[in-house]
Each structure stands twice: as C-alpha cells, then as structure tokens.
Copies of this chain bind each other. A is one copy, B any other.
Amino acid sequence: MQSSHRNLTQQLVHELGTNILAGKYSADDAMPSEADICDQYGISRTATREAIKMLTAKGLISSRPRQGIKVLALKHWNLFDSDVLSWILTGKPDLKMLRYFLQLRLAIEPEAAYLAAQYASPEALKEIESALARMQQATNGYDDSHEADIEFHKSILRASNNPFYQQLQVFIETALKVNIRFTNRMKAVTEDEYQAHVTIFEHIKNHRAQAASDAALITQKATLAIVDDKLNKLKK
C-alpha cells in the first residue's frame, strides 16, 4: 500500500477502490473478509471497517454477517462519485467506455451551454473567457492545452447555475481525460478546435442559448461518430 499524506483508512479505500475497478475481485467470492484485509495490509479492524463502510457508501460493495464482503454489480456503483471516476481512469478504460462517456456528454454539454447563455454571471463568463485565453496561449506552446480545454468545459458547467450540472464537472473532466488518452495526441489542441470553442463562448456571452447549444452539439456528434465507427469496424 503506497505511503502518502493520507491516513490509513483513506489509503485503504483508495487501494481497494482501484482494485475493484480494475476487476481484481470479479471472481464473485474473491473479495477478502475483514480479517483477511487486516492481515494482508497489517492494519487494525477499526481502520479496515471504516474503509469498507466508505466503499459501501459509494455502492461498490456490500458487507453482511456470515456472507462477508462482496463486490456489487456495476448498476449499484455510484458512477458519478469523483473517487469512482478517478478509479475508472486508473483502470484502463476501453473504447466502449469512451463511447459511454461521449454518449452522456452529448446530452449534458449542449444543454449546459444553453443554460449558461441564459444564466451565466459576469464572473462565470470571465472564467470561461480565461480558459479560452489559456487555450490560445497553448497553441503557441505557453500552456498545457488539454488542461485549458478541460477548464473550458468545466467553466461552462459552473456557469449553468444548476447544482446538478455543476456536480458533473468531475464526470466531464474524466470523460475528456479518457478521450485524450485514446486520441493519444502529444500535440496541442488544434486551431480549428480552438475556433469551435470560441464560437460557443461568443454565443453564450451574447445570450444566444439555442445557438450555443447547437454549436456544442456539433462537435460532440462528430467525436461520437468517429468512435461509433471505430467500434463498428472492430465488430466485423
């Protein structure tokens, strides 16, 4: 178990969480009992149980007398929990997972742009604009373009003025990171991509909600189409 600034319980949560997401305990009954975990990691039952409770709260496992600890089915997992999302990222997501992410981004982001155009505060607008500026600098090599890209998408969610959309920031961030990993570009964001982002921002700034939504939709559809295509070819 890696040493760290975090306490024992949190370290164990992280360790077991990554293992579960990596499918290490998929053999159904392969999840160790409380006592096993204590032995294996050399820590007390107190810390172990608290870690187990945290994973239970995130929907990853169940823990009952005599039955022991079991990894639950995927449908019980809190997939929008930021820890769970970070563990997905650790666990080598495949193309299918990328498609799942894109399919939800396609729903979320255009509507978030719509809401941002309606409700964004001046401060929220400034945040979007500053992320955009960082992207431009990055095309000149002065900044990390992908980081700025992520910040742009997150700032629109914040501008939506809706706590549910705001909560989805980590989801979108993870989706973008998975996407970046697959497109495998060491290269920065292209000029075309940057211009598409500028268009979205201009529409938001000028309160053209439907136009902002449409502009966001187009990019999403294009990206998803490419991945759908790849997956269809793989099937053959």
Q: Which residues of A contact B (CB under 8 A)?
A: 9, 13, 46, 49-50, 53-59, 74-75, 77-83, 100-101, 103-104, 106-108, 110-112, 115, 160, 162-167, 171
Chain B residues with CB under 8 Å of A79's CB are: 163-164, 167
Chain B residues with CB under 8 Å of A50's CB are: 49-50, 53
Q: A54-B53, A54-B56, A56-B54 are in contact. Are A167 and B103 (CB under 8 A)?
A: no
Chain B residues with CB under 8 Å of A103's CB are: 111, 115, 160, 162, 164-165
Chain B residues with CB under 8 Å of A160's CB are: 103
A104 touches B164 (CB 8 A): yes
Chain B residues with CB under 8 Å of A164's CB are: 79-80, 100-101, 103-104, 171
Contact of A111 among B55, B74, B83, B106 (CB under 8 A): B106
- How many Å lie between the Cα of A106 and that of B164 in the bound state? 12
Chain B residues with CB under 8 Å of A171's CB are: 164
Chain B residues with CB under 8 Å of A106's CB are: 111
B75 touches A166 (CB 8 A): yes
Closest B residue, CB atoms, query A115: B103
Q: A15 to nearest B CB, angstroms?
A: 15
- How many Å lie between the Cα of A1 and that of B81 in the bound state? 28
